[in-house]
Amino acid sequence: MRLWLVCTCLCLSSLEYKQKMHPQTGIVLTTGYRLSFVCSVLRSAPPCSKFFSVKHTADVQYSINPPRSEADHLSPIPLNDDTVLLFSMKKASEEENDNKLSVRYYGTDKKMLGTAVLHLTAVEISLDVDADRDGIVEKNNPNKGCWKWGPDGHGAIILVNCDSERRWRKLDHEQDFIDRESDLKDMTTMVLRTKGPAKLPEGYKLTMHISQGDAESIRVYTSADGHRYPLILQSACLSAEVLYRRGFAENKFYVEGIRFPDKDFDGLVTINLSLLEPIGPGIPETPIFTDKVVLRIAPWIMTPNTLTPKEVFVCSTTDNYTFLKEIRSFVAKSGHNLKICHEYMNRGDHRGLVDFPYEKLLGPDFGYVTKKAQKEDVNSLDSFGNLEVSPPVTVNGKKYPLGRIIIGVAFPTAAQGRNMTQVIQDFLWAQKVQEPIALFSDWLCIGHVDEFMTFVPAPDKNGFRLLLASPDAGYKLFKSLSKQGHGNATLFDGSINTHSQLYLSQKGLQDHNNYVQSCIDWNRDVLKRELGLDEGDIIDLPILFKLVKEDEEVRALAYYPDVVNMLVLGKNLGIPKPFGPKVNGRCAIEAEVCSLLEPLGLSCTFIDNFASYHQLLGEVHCGSNVRREPFDFKWWNMEM
Amino acid sequence: MRLWLVCTCLCLSSLEYKQKMHPQTGIVLTTGYRLSFVCSVLRSAPPCSKFFSVKHTADVQYSINPPRSEADHLSPIPLNDDTVLLFSMKKASEEENDNKLSVRYYGTDKKMLGTAVLHLTAVEISLDVDADRDGIVEKNNPNKGCWKWGPDGHGAIILVNCDSERRWRKLDHEQDFIDRESDLKDMTTMVLRTKGPAKLPEGYKLTMHISQGDAESIRVYTSADGHRYPLILQSACLSAEVLYRRGFAENKFYVEGIRFPDKDFDGLVTINLSLLEPIGPGIPETPIFTDKVVLRIAPWIMTPNTLTPKEVFVCSTTDNYTFLKEIRSFVAKSGHNLKICHEYMNRGDHRGLVDFPYEKLLGPDFGYVTKKAQKEDVNSLDSFGNLEVSPPVTVNGKKYPLGRIIIGVAFPTAAQGRNMTQVIQDFLWAQKVQEPIALFSDWLCIGHVDEFMTFVPAPDKNGFRLLLASPDAGYKLFKSLSKQGHGNATLFDGSINTHSQLYLSQKGLQDHNNYVQSCIDWNRDVLKRELGLDEGDIIDLPILFKLVKEDEEVRALAYYPDVVNMLVLGKNLGIPKPFGPKVNGRCAIEAEVCSLLEPLGLSCTFIDNFASYHQLLGEVHCGSNVRREPFDFKWWNMEM
């Protein structure tokens, strides 16, 4: 009978038990288990036991279920079929088996029949991240195992490590080792805190593990000696033993994001830490405690025109000397930094820029992401003049503090329209924090939303105005010029023999522009609805279009430089010089644009991009790029 | 100047206008446009106009912006830069151009300078579905364009047409025509309601359109003459003109679901109806009004043990005569219908059943869905003994009125565990309404969750109990038998020479079962947490396991028939006959199982599956299948 009368050390089998679940708070383990046990007192009792009593060392606490009155505990307690002992430890052990719990069993006459003894070792384990997002990895945040959006939300975040500490053409996450300590700042610090005896009881071990799916999105490194950072978890190795260290220990880990949220990945990953218990030789270990942390990979975020510019990028080509001179002067006047991409790099601009971002932009804290189209269906709508973002808006009470992404697609009534390729659309929608709006842009030859819309900062209302190209406003302007007797003023500085009067007399051109106005009106409706705008938020710029036939499709081009395709640097606007009819020595289109925008405190600079860009179907905005200050608003504070 | 003084018929261009957006309510069109227009009065005015007045026919209404006092309307109104006229029609036109609105313009001296006249045609258009889910396609439900879960939700639904009206091996949605009217009942009725003159003005047309993405999930048929149902929208044809009919007309359409929600498809589809306006020869039409309906494809839903059985399926094989006889008697006693799959069809059962569902089950209102694994990674965990569903539960206030799906996977600490194939997991999670729980089942040779758990109905608490296999309960039983002097009772009816005493003396077997108990305890914790259960919801059945080594992995098998692997038909349980030690002529394991389950009003029938299934690593549950009554609860009423 001694077999189940004395239970030493870790041999618990004779005192049968059931674990009790404390998934949220279970950090203290007794002899490798969580804080609390349920122990069936009856099952470990010698035959004929009718009563029992409990003794224990100072750090042990227990209760009996069903509950008895306190007085009962001092004398032998009747032993029933359903008697269960629930015990736990108050703090971590300093030595292995430094605590003890014993149960004495008595017969009918309260004669002692035997004693069952448990030696207990308690270990505290907590896998920690910065779940309250204050920059400090706090201990055992109760919310670390789930993730919630919003100002009252919680859950740690991970960056995609897509910059390069090396200024090579290689992203940091394209290598699976850390060779610069600065790279650690692009990763999320995770801490494994343990407290307990000098070592874990024989055969017990700690393992960290992730799922195969999550391993496509993150890697975990550890800190070996403060200088080396071995990779421990990745898709080829989902589970790794981690070191247990004596006393109170804090092991640091570094979590690296390797992909952005996408159609098949919501951005959430889980990292688990388990304590494994040995059962016997040749038998697998079983997890007896698992702690977990849930993190979200930061989305890819666009910066709207209302954010402060940091750098402006343009190309230098054989034929854009005038443009370059004017844009240089405009950017300097605006107080910003111009970066020129020279011809050996841009290979004539327009389509040859593929190497520039790798060679010149990629570097510390400046990364990139690429998506490969699945089919051979890439077209003009995949260029990023067709990818814009609104300033922050509130729509029917729903806040978009980072604005909304805007792309252009085909109107689906078209049998065979052009669309932005699906992998890009999927990627944009998956970022969630700037929920995209799809406009109808396939009516344009180039098909970019920036051919008919942009945003400029404004001191009032939503803090911005939506500028729309407007043939109606164009006709209105030309009619009023005609009415004022300027019908014969020449456009294009006289270099092309066009009189403003001509516009009014061409029925074909009027039809073309009625069509364009219908297309833009359609988008105006969508933008008003999806951005929560009213007519007062919109300014119509006088722009005429013409229709041309290409590949059996009739599509639109701006007739003169498309003033809405502008470069917005704070209050300074670099606008394509429209070369409109001169009235009293001043371009009437420029004058009209200024009269619409200057009341908002904006300053208009007209830049000649006629030969260099307009005739190649682009304008200032198409020919430039701006890096802006990121949002002050923290994306995780969005309410979803 | 007459050009813009008289505007006849549809030639609106001289009276410049902007559409006003009423996406939710805009169903009436004036001259093909939506109910309301904003008309810039100034732009259509003759030179020197200073005042204007408005006249109109009975069905027209208008307002002036900025607003003027009512008195002003009667006399000429001052004309300012920002004067805008907002007009609409009260009802649909009975004839083309049956209404008229005219604006008179006056000079400084209030002398009339000219008149602009608009002839107006109003058409009502509404694309309708059963957005309030009451079985009737109501007119223009304001919520038809969005979809919301819950009892206060809205939005129409679509079934996947995966049954067969023909009893062929072909699903209805595998053909793109309708040849039986009964098939229409598997589709969603959609109605296009129009009201207006005998025909649309020249060149205007109605088109219905869907996106390329949605065309992977639905098809749309129309009703040609009440007997033919031409397919009008599918992935090869995203847009189709639909007929406008005189007066008040209702055109019926039928929407067919062709795929279930999945990882890359959230189940929502949009169908659009646009009125296209002609601009001129060679110029594309533009949409001037679009109505849309949003529908959700019904998820795939599992039926838990607590639902009423309709039919029980078993196989007849060369070696299961006894089993078949007993199960026939059990099913008959339970009052249900038994369907036997004969040997020519099941080809020895176990793995040869692939043709049975096609040939015998598929038919009207009985369909199927298959998923193909992407890699060659299918294993035993992909069998559907590893796919169960809980009864309805509430977890921390969150309701799962359709229960939660339960699958078994590898514990991720295992370097190379077996998992249910990813496409199946993705599919299950995408259904959303029975949010899955992943248990750890890879510790079993076969690896199915039904080897250690099932659910039975109960009259109290949540309406069910979770039954778990329990080596602890097994040892408890055998110890108590031994204590009572029955240690030498033979198991397996004496046919295998095993005494219950033996279990207690085998240290190896005890280690094996400690391991198994650890694995089941792990799952017990997960089930308690994820189903919101407490200990009182769980019953432990006495089952011992043994570990065997296969492919270098140590995994578990039930030592004697696994009583938890039972067939649940209402209150009648068909339980694998365990062949435990006979005490006073009765199997002690059967007695213990009955004593645990009968108090719940359950009736236990023990079925001999020893030779026919147990020795082939299955039991009653593995060898049978049950079709049950679907839930009364409507899935769209779930709160998400």
State pLDDT tens for residues B540-553: 999 999 999 887 88
Q: Is B636 helix (H, G, I), strand (E, B) or coil?
A: helix
Alpha-helix residue ranges (DSSP H) falling in B343-470: 343-346, 356, 422-430
Give the pair of three-digit tokens for residue B52: 């204007």
Is the model's pLDDT at B34 over the cut of 60? no
- Residue range B445-454, pLDDT digits in tens: 999 999 999 9
With CB atoms and an 8 Å threshold, state whether A287 touches B475. Answer: no
pLDDT band at B23 (very low <50, low <70, confident <90, very high): very low
- Min CA distance, A60 vs chain B (Å)? 23
Q: Tell me, what's the pLDDT at B353?
A: 73
In angstroms, rounded to a whole number, what is the distance separating the alpha carbons of residues A575 and A605?
A: 6
Is the model's pLDDT at B20 over the cut of 70? no
Preferred mutation among A216, A263, A411, A546 to probe B, highest tally of B CBs within 10 A = A411
What DSSP string runs through A82-135? T-EEEEEESS--SSTT-EEEEEEEE-TT--EEEEEEEEE-EEEEEEE--TT-SS
CA distances from B127 to A354, B210, B241, B292 (A): 47, 13, 14, 7
pLDDT band at B217 (very low <50, low <70, confident <90, very high): very high
Higher pLDDT, A400 or B113: A400
Q: Tell me, what's the pLDDT at B414?
A: 61
Mean pLDDT along residues B87-100: 81
In angstroms, rounded to a whole number, what is the distance separating the alpha carbons of residues B284 and A562?
A: 22
pLDDT band at B167 (very low <50, low <70, confident <90, very high): low
Mean pLDDT along residues A129-133: 96
Mean pLDDT along residues B486-513: 70
Mean pLDDT along residues B497-514: 73
Mean pLDDT along residues B346-361: 72
Higher pLDDT, B30 or B531: B531
Is the model's pLDDT at A151 over the cut of 50? yes
With CB atoms and an 8 Å threshold, state whether A283 touches B515. Answer: yes
- Residue range A264-284, pLDDT digits in tens: 899 999 999 988 888 778 888
Give the pair of three-digit tokens for residue A466: 């939506």
Fold match between domain B25-124 and domain B130-297: yes
Q: Tell me, what's the pLDDT at A522?
A: 86
Paired residues of B453 in beta bridges: B468
Q: What backbone phi and psi angles, to 5 degrees, belong to B282?
A: 80, 0
Q: Tell me, what's the pLDDT at A34?
A: 38
Paired residues of B127 in beta bridges: B192
Q: Which residues contact A449 (CB under 8 A, 6 or more apart)?
A: A385, A386, A387, A388, A406, A407, A408, A439, A441, A523
Mean pLDDT along residues A400-409: 96
| Residue in this structure with the two tokens 């809980």, named with its chain if needed | B390
Higher pLDDT, B254 or A479: B254
- Min CA distance, B358 vs chain A (Å)? 32
Ramachandran bin of A115, using left for φ above 0, alpha for ψ from -120 to 50, beta for the remaining angles:
beta
- Tell the CATH superfamily of the B130-297 domain: Protein-arginine deiminase, central domain (2.60.40.1700)
Chain A to chain B Cβ contacts (< 8 Å): 136
Q: Tell me, what's the pLDDT at A74?
A: 63
In angstroms, rounded to a whole number, what is the distance separating the alpha carbons of residues A205 and A289?
A: 11
Q: Tell me, what's the pLDDT at B350?
A: 64
Q: Tell me, what's the pLDDT at B71?
A: 56
- Residues 523..552 of A with a Cβ closer than 8 Å to B: which? 524-525, 528-529, 535, 547, 549
Which of B268, B280, B281, B228 shows the shortest CA–CA distance to B252? B228
Q: Is A423 helix (H, G, I), strand (E, B) or coil?
A: helix
Q: Tell me, what's the pLDDT at A76?
A: 84
| Beta-strand relationship, B205-209 and B239-242 | antiparallel
Q: Does A225 touch chain B (CB under 8 A)?
A: no
Give the pair of three-digit tokens for residue B513: 């079962």
Mean pLDDT along residues B606-622: 85
Whether A453 and A424 have beta carbons less than 8 Å apart is answered as no
In angstroms, rounded to a whole number, what is the distance separating the alpha carbons of residues B492 and A151?
A: 64
What is the side-by-side strand order in the sheet with A205-209? A156-158, A286-297, A268-277, A205-209, A239-242
Is the model's pLDDT at A457 over the cut of 50? yes
Q: Does B412 touch chain A (CB under 8 A)?
A: yes
Q: Cα dihedral angle (B129, B131, B132, B133), rounded to 10 degrees?
A: 70
Residue type, A9: C
Count of positions (residues) in chain B? 640
Architecture of the domain spanning A25-124:
Sandwich (2.60)
In angstroms, rounded to a whole number, what is the distance separating the alpha carbons of residues A452 and A448?
A: 8
Among A546-550, B74-78, B84-88, B504-508, name the most confident range: A546-550
Per CATH, the number for A309-637 is 3.75.10.10
Is the model's pLDDT at B148 over the cut of 90? yes
- State the maximum Cα–Cα separation within chain A, in Å, rounded to a whole number: 124
Is the model's pLDDT at A358 over the cut of 50? yes
Higher pLDDT, A500 or B629: B629
Angle of helix A471-483 relative to helix A507-531, nearest 10 degrees?
A: 130
Q: Hey, where are the domains in chain A?
A: 25-124, 130-297, 309-637
- Residue range A297-314, pLDDT digits in tens: 999 999 999 999 999 999
Exposure string of B395-417, with b = 16+ CB inside 10 Å and e = fewer, is eeeeebbbbbbbbbbbbbbbeeb
**Lowest mean pLDDT: which of A92-101, A601-610, B322-331?**
A92-101
Mean pLDDT along residues A108-126: 83
- Residue range B399-432, pLDDT digits in tens: 999 999 999 998 766 656 788 888 899 999 999 9
Is the model's pLDDT at B87 over the cut of 90? no
Whether B279 and A519 have beta carbons less than 8 Å apart is answered as no
Q: Which residues contact B78 (CB under 8 A, 6 or more apart)?
A: B50, B51
Q: Is B619 helix (H, G, I), strand (E, B) or coil?
A: coil
Whether B409 and B422 have beta carbons less than 8 Å apart is answered as no
Angle of helix B588-597 relative to helix B471-483, nearest 10 degrees?
A: 120
Secondary structure element (H or E) that encloses residue B540, with its range: strand B538-542
In angstroms, rounded to a whole number, what is the distance separating the alpha carbons of residues A192 and A215?
A: 19
In angstroms, rounded to a whole number, what is the distance separating the alpha carbons of residues B18 and B7?
A: 16
3-state secondary structure B546-582: EEEEECCEEEEEECCCCCCCCEEECCEEEEECCCCCE
Whether A85 and A38 have beta carbons less than 8 Å apart is answered as yes
With CB atoms and an 8 Å threshold, state whether A286 touches B472. Answer: no
Considering only CB atoms, which chain A residues are within 8 Å of B422? 213
- Residue range A42-83, pLDDT digits in tens: 556 677 788 888 888 888 888 777 777 655 566 788 887 667
Q: Tell me, what's the pLDDT at B11?
A: 23
In chain A, the percentage of residues whose pLDDT exceeds 90 is 44
Q: Tell me, what's the pLDDT at B460?
A: 94
- Min CA distance, A491 vs chain B (Å)? 23
Higher pLDDT, B596 or A63: B596
In angstroms, rounded to a whole number, what is the distance separating the alpha carbons of residues B288 and B28?
A: 12
Q: How many CB atoms lie within 10 A of CB A170?
A: 12
pTM of the model: 0.82
Whether B489 and B500 have beta carbons less than 8 Å apart is answered as yes
With CB atoms and an 8 Å threshold, state whether B21 touches A284. Answer: no
pLDDT band at B168 (very low <50, low <70, confident <90, very high): low
Q: Is the peptide bond preceding residue B542 cis, with omega within 30 degrees of 0?
A: no
Mean pLDDT along residues B473-485: 85
In chain A, the percentage of residues whose pLDDT exceeds 70 is 86
In angstroms, rounded to a whole number, what is the distance separating the alpha carbons of residues A475 and A482?
A: 10
Mean pLDDT along residues A13-31: 28
Exposure string of B173-189, with b = 16+ CB inside 10 Å and e = fewer, is beeeebeeeebbebbbb
Whether A597 and A604 have beta carbons less than 8 Å apart is answered as yes
Tell me the Cα Rg of chain B.
Answer: 35
How many Å from the N-terminal Cα to the C-terminal Cα in chain A? 63
In angstroms, rounded to a whole number, what is the distance separating the alpha carbons of residues A449 and A201?
A: 66
Considering only CB atoms, which chain B residues are within 8 Å of A233? none
In angstroms, rounded to a whole number, what is the distance separating the alpha carbons of residues A132 and B316?
A: 60
Give catalytic residues of A, as residue numbers.
622
Q: Tell me, what's the pLDDT at A349?
A: 59
CA distances from B294 to B34, B221, B272, B427 (A): 21, 17, 9, 22
CA distances from A118 to A38, A44, A62, A514 (A): 13, 11, 13, 89
- Min CA distance, B596 vs chain A (Å)? 14
Is the model's pLDDT at A351 over the cut of 70? no
pLDDT band at B14 (very low <50, low <70, confident <90, very high): very low
Q: Tell me, what's the pLDDT at B347?
A: 65
3-state secondary structure A188-216: EEEEEEEEECCCCCCCCEEEEECCHHHHC
With CB atoms and an 8 Å threshold, state whether B239 touches A415. Answer: yes
Q: Does B476 touch chain A (CB under 8 A)?
A: yes
Report chain B's mean pLDDT, rounded to a whole number: 84
Among A241-245, A379-383, B463-467, name the most confident range: B463-467
In angstroms, rounded to a whole number, what is the distance separating the alpha carbons of residues A287 and B413?
A: 8
CA distances from B448 to A623, B406, B445, B621 (A): 61, 10, 9, 11
Which of A18, A207, A263 has the CB atom closest to B521's CB atom? A18
Secondary structure element (H or E) that encloses residue A481, with its range: helix A471-483
Q: Tell me, what's the pLDDT at B592?
A: 96
HSE-CB for A383 with a 13 A CA cutoff: 22
In chain B, the percentage of residues whose pLDDT exceeds 90 is 44
Q: Tell me, what's the pLDDT at B150?
A: 93
**Lowest mean pLDDT: which of A405-409, A543-547, A576-580, A610-614?**
A610-614
pLDDT band at A329 (very low <50, low <70, confident <90, very high): very high
Paired residues of A592 in beta bridges: none
HSE-CB for B257 with a 13 A CA cutoff: 27
Whether A527 and A439 have beta carbons less than 8 Å apart is answered as yes
Q: Is A576 helix (H, G, I), strand (E, B) or coil?
A: strand
Is the model's pLDDT at A342 over the cut of 90? no
Report chain A's mean pLDDT, rounded to a whole number: 84
Q: Does B242 touch chain A (CB under 8 A)?
A: no
Whether A624 and A327 have beta carbons less than 8 Å apart is answered as yes
In angstroms, rounded to a whole number, what is the distance separating the alpha carbons of residues A418 and A411?
A: 9
- Residue range A463-513, pLDDT digits in tens: 999 999 999 899 888 888 888 888 777 776 544 445 556 666 777 888 899
- Min CA distance, B375 vs chain A (Å)? 14
